[in-house]
Structure 1
Protein backbone atom coordinates (compact mmCIF):
# COMPACT_ATOMS: atom_id res chain seq x y z
CA UNK A 1 0.00 0.00 0.00
CA UNK A 2 1.18 3.49 -0.81
CA UNK A 3 2.01 5.98 1.94
CA UNK A 4 0.91 9.61 2.28
CA UNK A 5 -2.71 8.71 1.60
CA UNK A 6 -5.00 11.75 1.59
CA UNK A 7 -8.53 11.50 0.17
CA UNK A 8 -9.85 14.88 -0.97
CA UNK A 9 -13.41 13.81 -1.89
CA UNK A 10 -15.48 12.04 0.78
CA UNK A 11 -19.18 12.23 1.67
CA UNK A 12 -20.71 11.72 5.09
CA UNK A 13 -24.34 10.92 5.83
CA UNK A 14 -25.01 14.65 5.69
CA UNK A 15 -25.08 14.17 1.92
CA UNK A 16 -28.43 12.73 0.81
CA UNK A 17 -26.71 9.68 -0.66
CA UNK A 18 -24.06 9.29 2.08
CA UNK A 19 -24.04 6.34 4.47
CA UNK A 20 -21.81 7.03 7.47
CA UNK A 21 -21.10 9.70 10.06
CA UNK A 22 -17.98 11.83 10.08
CA UNK A 23 -16.87 10.07 13.26
CA UNK A 24 -17.18 6.64 11.69
CA UNK A 25 -15.27 7.83 8.63
CA UNK A 26 -12.42 8.93 10.92
CA UNK A 27 -12.42 5.55 12.64
CA UNK A 28 -12.26 3.84 9.26
CA UNK A 29 -9.40 6.10 8.18
CA UNK A 30 -7.39 4.99 11.21
CA UNK A 31 -8.16 1.36 10.45
CA UNK A 32 -7.10 1.70 6.80
CA UNK A 33 -3.94 3.70 7.49
CA UNK A 34 -5.25 6.82 5.73
CA UNK A 35 -3.38 9.88 6.98
CA UNK A 36 -6.23 12.26 6.25
CA UNK A 37 -9.28 13.15 4.23
CA UNK A 38 -11.60 16.02 3.38
CA UNK A 39 -15.31 15.78 4.09
CA UNK A 40 -16.85 17.34 0.98
CA UNK A 41 -20.58 16.96 1.40
CA UNK A 42 -22.89 17.90 -1.43
CA UNK A 43 -24.38 21.32 -2.05
CA UNK A 44 -26.44 21.15 -5.23
CA UNK A 45 -27.03 24.79 -6.06
CA UNK A 46 -29.96 24.19 -8.43
CA UNK A 47 -32.06 22.52 -5.71
CA UNK A 48 -30.47 24.00 -2.59
CA UNK A 49 -33.70 25.26 -1.05
CA UNK A 50 -35.88 22.32 -2.06
CA UNK A 51 -33.47 19.72 -0.68
CA UNK A 52 -32.44 21.69 2.45
CA UNK A 53 -28.77 21.69 1.54
CA UNK A 54 -27.91 24.57 3.85
CA UNK A 55 -29.18 22.62 6.86
CA UNK A 56 -27.27 19.53 5.74
CA UNK A 57 -24.06 21.47 5.20
CA UNK A 58 -24.29 23.25 8.54
CA UNK A 59 -24.56 19.85 10.24
CA UNK A 60 -21.58 18.57 8.26
CA UNK A 61 -19.48 21.55 9.32
CA UNK A 62 -20.47 21.02 12.96
CA UNK A 63 -19.61 17.32 12.88
CA UNK A 64 -16.25 17.98 11.24
CA UNK A 65 -15.38 20.36 14.09
CA UNK A 66 -16.33 17.76 16.69
CA UNK A 67 -14.31 15.06 14.91
CA UNK A 68 -11.27 17.33 14.57
CA UNK A 69 -11.32 17.88 18.34
CA UNK A 70 -11.81 14.17 19.01
CA UNK A 71 -9.24 12.68 16.67
CA UNK A 72 -6.62 15.39 17.04
CA UNK A 73 -3.55 14.60 14.96
CA UNK A 74 -4.28 10.92 14.48
CA UNK A 75 -6.35 11.79 11.38
CA UNK A 76 -5.83 14.99 9.43
CA UNK A 77 -9.45 15.95 8.80
CA UNK A 78 -10.24 18.96 6.64
CA UNK A 79 -13.41 20.91 5.95
CA UNK A 80 -14.76 20.95 2.42
CA UNK A 81 -17.82 21.09 0.22
CA UNK A 82 -18.72 19.77 -3.22
CA UNK A 83 -20.36 22.77 -4.86
CA UNK A 84 -22.36 21.75 -7.93
CA UNK A 85 -23.79 24.03 -10.62
CA UNK A 86 -22.51 27.05 -8.71
CA UNK A 87 -21.85 29.07 -11.84
CA UNK A 88 -25.53 28.82 -12.82
CA UNK A 89 -26.89 29.66 -9.36
CA UNK A 90 -24.39 32.13 -7.88
CA UNK A 91 -26.70 33.24 -5.05
CA UNK A 92 -26.98 29.67 -3.76
CA UNK A 93 -23.24 29.20 -4.21
CA UNK A 94 -22.52 32.33 -2.17
CA UNK A 95 -24.84 31.00 0.53
CA UNK A 96 -22.81 27.80 0.78
CA UNK A 97 -19.44 29.54 0.59
CA UNK A 98 -20.44 31.95 3.37
CA UNK A 99 -21.18 29.27 5.96
CA UNK A 100 -17.59 28.69 7.10
CA UNK A 101 -13.92 28.94 6.17
CA UNK A 102 -13.29 25.86 4.04
CA UNK A 103 -10.08 24.02 3.41
CA UNK A 104 -11.22 22.91 -0.04
CA UNK A 105 -14.08 23.66 -2.40
CA UNK A 106 -14.73 21.13 -5.15
CA UNK A 107 -16.40 22.40 -8.31
CA UNK A 108 -18.79 19.95 -9.96
CA UNK A 109 -21.40 19.67 -12.67
CA UNK A 110 -23.98 16.99 -11.86
CA UNK A 111 -27.00 18.42 -13.72
CA UNK A 112 -27.47 20.15 -17.05
CA UNK A 113 -31.07 21.10 -16.24
CA UNK A 114 -32.49 22.22 -12.90
CA UNK A 115 -33.34 19.22 -10.75
CA UNK A 116 -32.39 16.69 -13.44
CA UNK A 117 -29.09 15.03 -12.51
CA UNK A 118 -27.15 13.14 -15.14
CA UNK A 119 -27.34 10.05 -12.94
CA UNK A 120 -31.06 9.82 -13.76
CA UNK A 121 -30.81 10.27 -17.52
CA UNK A 122 -31.90 7.24 -19.54
CA UNK A 123 -29.16 7.07 -22.15
CA UNK A 124 -31.03 4.26 -23.91
CA UNK A 125 -33.82 6.68 -24.71
CA UNK A 126 -33.66 7.44 -28.48
CA UNK A 127 -34.45 11.06 -27.68
CA UNK A 128 -31.23 11.36 -25.68
CA UNK A 129 -28.31 12.14 -28.01
CA UNK A 130 -25.12 11.15 -26.20
CA UNK A 131 -22.85 13.44 -28.20
CA UNK A 132 -25.08 16.42 -27.46
CA UNK A 133 -25.14 15.63 -23.73
CA UNK A 134 -21.35 15.46 -23.69
CA UNK A 135 -21.01 18.74 -25.57
CA UNK A 136 -23.39 20.43 -23.11
CA UNK A 137 -21.54 18.92 -20.16
CA UNK A 138 -18.08 20.07 -21.25
CA UNK A 139 -19.41 23.54 -22.08
CA UNK A 140 -20.91 23.71 -18.58
CA UNK A 141 -17.59 22.62 -17.10
CA UNK A 142 -15.75 25.29 -19.05
CA UNK A 143 -18.24 27.95 -17.96
CA UNK A 144 -17.79 26.86 -14.35
CA UNK A 145 -14.00 27.05 -14.66
CA UNK A 146 -14.33 30.62 -15.95
CA UNK A 147 -16.57 31.39 -12.96
CA UNK A 148 -13.79 30.08 -10.78
CA UNK A 149 -15.26 30.05 -7.25
CA UNK A 150 -13.71 26.70 -6.34
CA UNK A 151 -10.29 25.15 -5.74
CA UNK A 152 -10.40 21.77 -7.47
CA UNK A 153 -12.35 20.62 -10.53
CA UNK A 154 -14.02 17.33 -9.60
CA UNK A 155 -14.49 14.25 -11.81
CA UNK A 156 -13.95 15.78 -15.27
CA UNK A 157 -15.75 13.32 -17.56
CA UNK A 158 -18.52 12.56 -15.06
CA UNK A 159 -21.22 11.53 -17.62
CA UNK A 160 -19.13 8.50 -18.61
CA UNK A 161 -20.02 6.93 -15.27
CA UNK A 162 -23.47 6.41 -16.71
CA UNK A 163 -23.00 6.38 -20.50
CA UNK A 164 -20.43 3.56 -20.38
CA UNK A 165 -20.37 2.53 -16.72
CA UNK A 166 -24.13 1.87 -16.57
CA UNK A 167 -25.44 1.68 -20.15
CA UNK A 168 -22.31 0.33 -21.87
CA UNK A 169 -22.55 2.91 -24.63
CA UNK A 170 -19.00 3.56 -25.93
CA UNK A 171 -17.56 7.05 -25.63
CA UNK A 172 -14.69 8.03 -27.91
CA UNK A 173 -11.52 8.75 -25.95
CA UNK A 174 -10.97 12.05 -27.77
CA UNK A 175 -14.60 13.17 -27.37
CA UNK A 176 -14.85 16.96 -27.05
CA UNK A 177 -11.06 17.15 -27.17
CA UNK A 178 -10.90 20.86 -27.93
CA UNK A 179 -13.19 21.73 -25.02
CA UNK A 180 -11.25 19.48 -22.65
CA UNK A 181 -8.04 21.20 -23.78
CA UNK A 182 -9.57 24.61 -23.08
CA UNK A 183 -10.68 23.48 -19.61
CA UNK A 184 -7.23 22.16 -18.71
CA UNK A 185 -5.46 25.28 -19.95
CA UNK A 186 -7.82 27.53 -17.99
CA UNK A 187 -7.34 25.48 -14.81
CA UNK A 188 -3.58 25.84 -15.13
CA UNK A 189 -3.80 29.57 -15.88
CA UNK A 190 -6.00 30.13 -12.82
CA UNK A 191 -3.98 27.91 -10.48
CA UNK A 192 -6.83 25.48 -9.88
CA UNK A 193 -6.45 21.79 -9.11
CA UNK A 194 -7.65 18.79 -11.10
CA UNK A 195 -9.10 15.78 -9.31
CA UNK A 196 -8.33 12.16 -10.11
CA UNK A 197 -11.60 10.50 -9.12
CA UNK A 198 -11.41 6.75 -8.50
CA UNK A 199 -15.15 6.06 -8.38
CA UNK A 200 -15.11 4.61 -11.89
CA UNK A 201 -12.62 1.92 -10.92
CA UNK A 202 -15.17 0.31 -8.61
CA UNK A 203 -18.38 1.15 -10.47
CA UNK A 204 -18.18 -0.38 -13.93
CA UNK A 205 -16.28 2.33 -15.76
CA UNK A 206 -12.94 0.52 -15.47
CA UNK A 207 -10.85 3.68 -15.20
CA UNK A 208 -10.53 6.83 -13.10
CA UNK A 209 -12.05 10.12 -14.20
CA UNK A 210 -10.48 11.86 -15.95
CA UNK A 211 -8.76 9.07 -17.82
CA UNK A 212 -5.06 8.54 -18.49
CA UNK A 213 -4.87 10.50 -21.75
CA UNK A 214 -6.39 13.60 -20.14
CA UNK A 215 -4.06 13.39 -17.15
CA UNK A 216 -1.08 13.00 -19.43
CA UNK A 217 -2.12 16.01 -21.50
CA UNK A 218 -2.68 18.09 -18.34
CA UNK A 219 0.85 17.21 -17.22
CA UNK A 220 2.35 18.03 -20.62
CA UNK A 221 0.60 21.40 -20.54
CA UNK A 222 2.37 22.11 -17.26
CA UNK A 223 -0.35 21.10 -14.80
CA UNK A 224 0.94 20.19 -11.35
CA UNK A 225 -2.01 20.34 -8.93
CA UNK A 226 -3.73 16.95 -8.88
CA UNK A 227 -5.80 15.70 -5.97
CA UNK A 228 -6.98 12.16 -5.29
CA UNK A 229 -10.65 11.63 -4.55
CA UNK A 230 -12.47 8.38 -3.88
CA UNK A 231 -15.88 10.08 -4.06
CA UNK A 232 -16.72 7.71 -1.20
CA UNK A 233 -20.31 7.66 0.00
CA UNK A 234 -19.50 4.75 2.32
CA UNK A 235 -16.63 4.35 4.77
CA UNK A 236 -15.55 1.14 3.04
CA UNK A 237 -14.71 3.15 -0.07
CA UNK A 238 -12.49 5.68 1.68
CA UNK A 239 -9.27 5.99 -0.38
CA UNK A 240 -10.44 3.11 -2.59
CA UNK A 241 -8.08 2.22 -5.46
CA UNK A 242 -5.57 4.91 -4.55
CA UNK A 243 -2.66 2.57 -5.24
CA UNK A 244 -3.82 2.29 -8.85
CA UNK A 245 -4.42 6.04 -9.14
CA UNK A 246 -0.98 6.86 -7.74
CA UNK A 247 0.71 4.43 -10.09
CA UNK A 248 -1.14 6.08 -12.96
CA UNK A 249 0.06 9.52 -11.86
CA UNK A 250 3.64 8.26 -11.76
CA UNK A 251 3.25 6.78 -15.25
CA UNK A 252 2.15 10.08 -16.77
CA UNK A 253 4.88 12.11 -15.10
CA UNK A 254 3.68 13.26 -11.67
CA UNK A 255 5.83 12.82 -8.58
CA UNK A 256 3.56 14.68 -6.19
CA UNK A 257 -0.13 15.00 -5.54
CA UNK A 258 -2.01 17.70 -3.65
CA UNK A 259 -4.42 18.26 -0.82
CA UNK A 260 -5.77 21.61 0.34
CA UNK A 261 -5.55 23.35 3.69
CA UNK A 262 -7.18 26.76 4.14
CA UNK A 263 -7.78 26.70 0.38
CA UNK A 264 -4.06 26.49 -0.36
CA UNK A 265 -2.41 23.48 -2.06
CA UNK A 266 -0.08 21.25 -0.03
CA UNK A 267 2.13 18.91 -2.01
CA UNK A 268 2.69 15.29 -0.96
CA UNK A 269 5.26 12.98 -2.48
CA UNK A 270 3.82 9.85 -4.08
CA UNK A 271 5.39 7.07 -2.01
Structure 2
Protein backbone atom coordinates (compact mmCIF):
# COMPACT_ATOMS: atom_id res chain seq x y z
CA UNK A 1 0.00 0.00 0.00
CA UNK A 2 1.32 3.45 -0.93
CA UNK A 3 0.46 6.08 1.65
CA UNK A 4 -0.61 9.43 0.27
CA UNK A 5 1.17 11.44 2.98
CA UNK A 6 4.82 11.20 4.11
CA UNK A 7 5.85 10.10 7.57
CA UNK A 8 5.70 12.88 10.16
CA UNK A 9 9.07 13.20 11.88
CA UNK A 10 8.61 16.30 14.00
CA UNK A 11 5.97 16.45 16.75
CA UNK A 12 5.57 17.20 20.45
CA UNK A 13 3.48 15.84 23.31
CA UNK A 14 2.99 16.70 26.98
CA UNK A 15 6.62 15.62 27.43
CA UNK A 16 7.59 18.96 25.86
CA UNK A 17 7.18 22.12 27.90
CA UNK A 18 4.90 23.76 25.34
CA UNK A 19 2.39 20.95 24.73
CA UNK A 20 -0.33 19.18 26.71
CA UNK A 21 -1.06 16.49 24.10
CA UNK A 22 -1.20 12.86 25.24
CA UNK A 23 1.17 10.66 23.26
CA UNK A 24 -1.60 8.14 22.66
CA UNK A 25 -3.81 10.81 21.05
CA UNK A 26 -1.01 11.81 18.69
CA UNK A 27 -0.57 8.20 17.60
CA UNK A 28 -4.29 7.71 17.04
CA UNK A 29 -4.48 10.90 14.96
CA UNK A 30 -1.58 9.75 12.80
CA UNK A 31 -3.28 6.41 12.16
CA UNK A 32 -6.54 8.14 11.33
CA UNK A 33 -4.70 10.26 8.76
CA UNK A 34 -3.20 7.18 7.15
CA UNK A 35 0.43 7.76 8.07
CA UNK A 36 2.79 4.80 7.87
CA UNK A 37 5.28 6.16 10.41
CA UNK A 38 5.83 8.97 12.90
CA UNK A 39 8.60 10.10 15.19
CA UNK A 40 8.21 11.92 18.48
CA UNK A 41 10.78 14.71 18.84
CA UNK A 42 10.32 16.33 22.23
CA UNK A 43 12.10 19.59 23.00
CA UNK A 44 15.33 19.53 24.93
CA UNK A 45 16.84 23.00 25.26
CA UNK A 46 19.47 23.15 27.97
CA UNK A 47 20.16 26.59 29.41
CA UNK A 48 17.12 28.21 27.83
CA UNK A 49 16.93 31.93 28.78
CA UNK A 50 14.66 32.90 31.65
CA UNK A 51 11.50 34.37 30.11
CA UNK A 52 8.28 35.37 31.94
CA UNK A 53 6.13 32.77 30.14
CA UNK A 54 8.52 29.81 30.33
CA UNK A 55 6.91 26.46 31.18
CA UNK A 56 7.34 25.49 34.87
CA UNK A 57 9.99 22.90 34.00
CA UNK A 58 11.51 24.88 31.16
CA UNK A 59 12.31 23.10 27.91
CA UNK A 60 14.27 20.17 29.31
CA UNK A 61 12.45 16.90 28.80
CA UNK A 62 12.28 14.25 31.50
CA UNK A 63 13.94 11.77 29.17
CA UNK A 64 13.42 8.70 31.34
CA UNK A 65 9.69 9.34 31.66
CA UNK A 66 9.45 10.13 27.95
CA UNK A 67 11.22 6.88 27.07
CA UNK A 68 9.10 4.85 29.48
CA UNK A 69 5.83 6.18 28.06
CA UNK A 70 6.95 5.54 24.49
CA UNK A 71 7.97 1.95 25.24
CA UNK A 72 4.72 1.28 27.09
CA UNK A 73 2.65 2.33 24.07
CA UNK A 74 4.71 0.95 21.20
CA UNK A 75 3.68 -2.74 21.44
CA UNK A 76 -0.03 -1.88 21.17
CA UNK A 77 0.51 -0.32 17.73
CA UNK A 78 2.68 -3.02 16.21
CA UNK A 79 1.48 -3.57 12.65
CA UNK A 80 -0.66 -0.43 12.70
CA UNK A 81 1.98 2.28 12.49
CA UNK A 82 5.75 2.54 12.84
CA UNK A 83 6.67 4.51 15.95
CA UNK A 84 10.07 6.13 16.41
CA UNK A 85 11.67 7.88 19.37
CA UNK A 86 13.54 11.10 18.74
CA UNK A 87 14.58 14.42 20.18
CA UNK A 88 14.73 18.04 19.07
CA UNK A 89 17.91 19.37 20.60
CA UNK A 90 18.34 23.10 21.07
CA UNK A 91 21.76 24.26 19.88
CA UNK A 92 23.90 26.90 21.55
CA UNK A 93 27.68 27.05 21.02
CA UNK A 94 28.59 26.52 24.67
CA UNK A 95 26.29 23.48 24.86
CA UNK A 96 27.88 21.43 22.09
CA UNK A 97 29.66 18.95 24.38
CA UNK A 98 26.70 18.70 26.75
CA UNK A 99 24.27 18.09 23.88
CA UNK A 100 26.59 15.50 22.39
CA UNK A 101 26.89 13.62 25.69
CA UNK A 102 23.13 13.73 26.19
CA UNK A 103 22.35 12.32 22.75
CA UNK A 104 24.93 9.56 23.17
CA UNK A 105 23.29 8.55 26.46
CA UNK A 106 20.02 7.39 24.86
CA UNK A 107 19.02 5.18 21.91
CA UNK A 108 17.30 7.84 19.87
CA UNK A 109 16.04 6.90 16.42
CA UNK A 110 16.30 10.45 15.13
CA UNK A 111 17.79 13.79 16.19
CA UNK A 112 16.73 17.23 15.00
CA UNK A 113 19.14 20.10 15.74
CA UNK A 114 17.36 23.44 16.02
CA UNK A 115 18.44 27.02 16.58
CA UNK A 116 15.88 28.31 19.08
CA UNK A 117 18.21 30.59 21.03
CA UNK A 118 20.38 33.11 19.22
CA UNK A 119 22.97 34.73 21.49
CA UNK A 120 20.77 34.26 24.56
CA UNK A 121 17.58 35.48 22.86
CA UNK A 122 14.75 33.54 21.23
CA UNK A 123 13.47 35.06 17.95
CA UNK A 124 9.99 34.02 19.09
CA UNK A 125 9.93 37.17 21.25
CA UNK A 126 9.56 40.79 19.97
CA UNK A 127 12.60 41.83 22.00
CA UNK A 128 14.84 40.03 19.50
CA UNK A 129 13.96 42.60 16.82
CA UNK A 130 13.97 45.78 18.88
CA UNK A 131 16.33 48.57 17.85
CA UNK A 132 17.35 47.14 14.50
CA UNK A 133 16.08 46.13 11.08
CA UNK A 134 14.59 42.75 10.32
CA UNK A 135 17.44 42.16 7.90
CA UNK A 136 19.97 42.59 10.70
CA UNK A 137 17.99 40.21 12.90
CA UNK A 138 17.69 37.60 10.15
CA UNK A 139 21.40 37.80 9.38
CA UNK A 140 22.35 37.31 13.03
CA UNK A 141 20.06 34.29 13.23
CA UNK A 142 21.56 32.62 10.15
CA UNK A 143 25.12 33.40 11.21
CA UNK A 144 24.47 31.88 14.64
CA UNK A 145 22.97 28.79 12.98
CA UNK A 146 26.19 28.21 11.05
CA UNK A 147 28.25 28.90 14.18
CA UNK A 148 26.30 26.19 16.00
CA UNK A 149 26.60 23.68 13.18
CA UNK A 150 30.36 24.15 12.99
CA UNK A 151 30.60 23.17 16.66
CA UNK A 152 28.00 20.37 16.79
CA UNK A 153 27.60 17.37 14.50
CA UNK A 154 25.54 14.77 16.39
CA UNK A 155 22.21 15.21 14.61
CA UNK A 156 20.38 13.97 11.50
CA UNK A 157 18.56 17.04 10.15
CA UNK A 158 18.56 20.75 10.80
CA UNK A 159 15.20 21.87 12.13
CA UNK A 160 13.14 24.61 10.44
CA UNK A 161 16.13 26.47 8.98
CA UNK A 162 14.41 29.84 8.58
CA UNK A 163 12.24 29.48 11.69
CA UNK A 164 12.77 33.16 12.42
CA UNK A 165 10.34 34.29 9.69
CA UNK A 166 7.43 32.77 11.63
CA UNK A 167 7.84 35.40 14.33
CA UNK A 168 9.45 38.45 12.68
CA UNK A 169 7.41 41.69 12.89
CA UNK A 170 6.55 41.48 9.17
CA UNK A 171 6.72 37.66 9.03
CA UNK A 172 7.99 36.77 5.54
CA UNK A 173 6.94 40.00 3.83
CA UNK A 174 10.51 41.35 3.71
CA UNK A 175 12.28 37.99 3.52
CA UNK A 176 14.02 36.75 0.37
CA UNK A 177 16.56 33.96 0.01
CA UNK A 178 18.61 36.16 -2.32
CA UNK A 179 19.22 38.70 0.46
CA UNK A 180 21.00 36.04 2.55
CA UNK A 181 22.32 33.79 -0.20
CA UNK A 182 25.94 33.78 1.01
CA UNK A 183 25.23 32.66 4.57
CA UNK A 184 22.39 30.32 3.58
CA UNK A 185 24.58 28.66 0.96
CA UNK A 186 27.29 28.22 3.58
CA UNK A 187 24.77 26.47 5.85
CA UNK A 188 23.51 24.24 3.04
CA UNK A 189 27.01 23.31 1.90
CA UNK A 190 27.96 22.46 5.47
CA UNK A 191 24.93 20.18 5.80
CA UNK A 192 25.67 18.42 2.51
CA UNK A 193 29.38 17.97 3.27
CA UNK A 194 28.48 16.39 6.61
CA UNK A 195 25.71 14.14 5.29
CA UNK A 196 22.93 16.03 7.08
CA UNK A 197 19.40 16.79 5.95
CA UNK A 198 16.68 19.40 6.26
CA UNK A 199 13.45 19.28 8.24
CA UNK A 200 10.69 20.43 5.86
CA UNK A 201 8.60 21.98 8.60
CA UNK A 202 4.99 22.75 7.70
CA UNK A 203 3.92 24.62 10.84
CA UNK A 204 4.19 27.95 9.03
CA UNK A 205 1.68 26.75 6.42
CA UNK A 206 -1.14 25.95 8.84
CA UNK A 207 -0.52 28.22 11.82
CA UNK A 208 -2.58 31.28 12.73
CA UNK A 209 -0.36 33.63 10.72
CA UNK A 210 0.00 31.23 7.80
CA UNK A 211 2.85 31.86 5.39
CA UNK A 212 3.27 30.87 1.76
CA UNK A 213 6.25 28.61 2.45
CA UNK A 214 7.28 25.92 4.88
CA UNK A 215 10.53 26.29 6.83
CA UNK A 216 12.82 26.29 4.98
CA UNK A 217 11.32 28.18 2.07
CA UNK A 218 10.95 26.81 -1.43
CA UNK A 219 13.93 28.84 -2.67
CA UNK A 220 16.17 27.29 -0.02
CA UNK A 221 14.93 23.80 -0.86
CA UNK A 222 15.66 24.42 -4.56
CA UNK A 223 19.16 25.62 -3.70
CA UNK A 224 19.82 22.65 -1.38
CA UNK A 225 18.87 20.30 -4.20
CA UNK A 226 21.00 22.25 -6.73
CA UNK A 227 24.00 21.90 -4.44
CA UNK A 228 23.49 18.13 -4.25
CA UNK A 229 21.44 17.83 -1.06
CA UNK A 230 18.95 14.97 -1.06
CA UNK A 231 18.01 14.30 2.58
CA UNK A 232 14.69 15.79 3.64
CA UNK A 233 12.24 14.76 6.32
CA UNK A 234 8.71 16.05 6.73
CA UNK A 235 7.65 17.54 10.05
CA UNK A 236 4.38 19.11 11.09
CA UNK A 237 5.86 20.40 14.37
CA UNK A 238 2.45 19.45 15.77
CA UNK A 239 1.76 20.18 19.42
CA UNK A 240 -1.85 18.92 19.24
CA UNK A 241 -3.26 15.82 17.49
CA UNK A 242 -5.21 17.70 14.81
CA UNK A 243 -2.02 19.31 13.47
CA UNK A 244 -0.24 16.05 12.66
CA UNK A 245 0.72 15.97 8.96
CA UNK A 246 -0.66 19.51 8.65
CA UNK A 247 -0.41 20.74 5.04
CA UNK A 248 1.70 17.72 4.05
CA UNK A 249 -0.20 17.54 0.77
CA UNK A 250 0.91 21.09 -0.09
CA UNK A 251 4.48 20.50 1.07
CA UNK A 252 4.78 17.25 -0.87
CA UNK A 253 3.89 18.93 -4.14
CA UNK A 254 6.25 21.78 -3.33
CA UNK A 255 9.29 19.58 -2.67
CA UNK A 256 8.59 17.57 -5.80
CA UNK A 257 8.60 20.85 -7.74
CA UNK A 258 11.97 21.59 -6.14
CA UNK A 259 13.41 18.42 -7.67
CA UNK A 260 13.10 15.91 -4.84
CA UNK A 261 11.91 12.39 -5.66
CA UNK A 262 12.30 10.84 -2.20
CA UNK A 263 12.09 11.79 1.45
CA UNK A 264 13.83 10.15 4.41
CA UNK A 265 12.75 8.54 7.62
CA UNK A 266 15.09 7.36 10.36
CA UNK A 267 15.34 4.40 12.71
CA UNK A 268 18.30 3.86 15.03
CA UNK A 269 19.85 6.95 13.41
CA UNK A 270 19.90 5.24 10.01
CA UNK A 271 18.05 6.79 7.09
CA UNK A 272 15.70 5.08 4.68
CA UNK A 273 14.56 6.82 1.52
CA UNK A 274 10.88 6.64 0.56
CA UNK A 275 9.61 7.55 -2.90
CA UNK A 276 7.36 10.59 -3.00
TM-score in terms of structure 2 length: 0.89
Distance 1:132 1:124, change over 3 A: closer
Give, in whole Å, the separation in 2 of the partners of 1:131 and 1:57.
Answer: 37
Give the equivalent residue in structure 2 for 1:195.
199
Instruction: Tell me, yes or no, if structure 1 residue 134 matches structure 2 residue 146.
Output: no
Comparing 56-65 with 197-206, which one deviates more in the overlay? 56-65
Give the equivalent residue in structure 1 for 2:53.
none
CA deviations 1:82-113 (Å, max 9, x no partner) are 00125431344145314411111000001113
Give the equivalent residue in structure 2 for 1:12.
13
Gaps of 5+ in 1: none
CA deviations 1:192-238 (Å, max 9, x no partner) are 11111101101222210111111111111111111101111111110
Give the equivalent residue in structure 2 for 1:43.
44
Instruction: Tell me, yes or no, if structure 1 residue 221 matches structure 2 residue 227.
Output: yes
Give, in whole Å, the separation in 2 of the partners of 1:108 and 1:141.
Answer: 8
Structure having the larger proportion of residues in strand: 1
Count of paired positions: 267
CA deviations 1:42-68 (Å, max 9, x no partner) are 001223999465552332222111121
Give the equivalent residue in structure 1 for 2:82.
76
Give the equivalent residue in structure 1 for 2:154.
149
Gaps of 5+ in 2: 51-55
Give, in whole Å, the separation in 2 of the partners of 1:41 and 1:96.
Answer: 14
CA RMSD after TM alignment: 2.3
**Structure 1 runs of 4+ with >3 Å offset:** 48-55, 122-125, 166-169
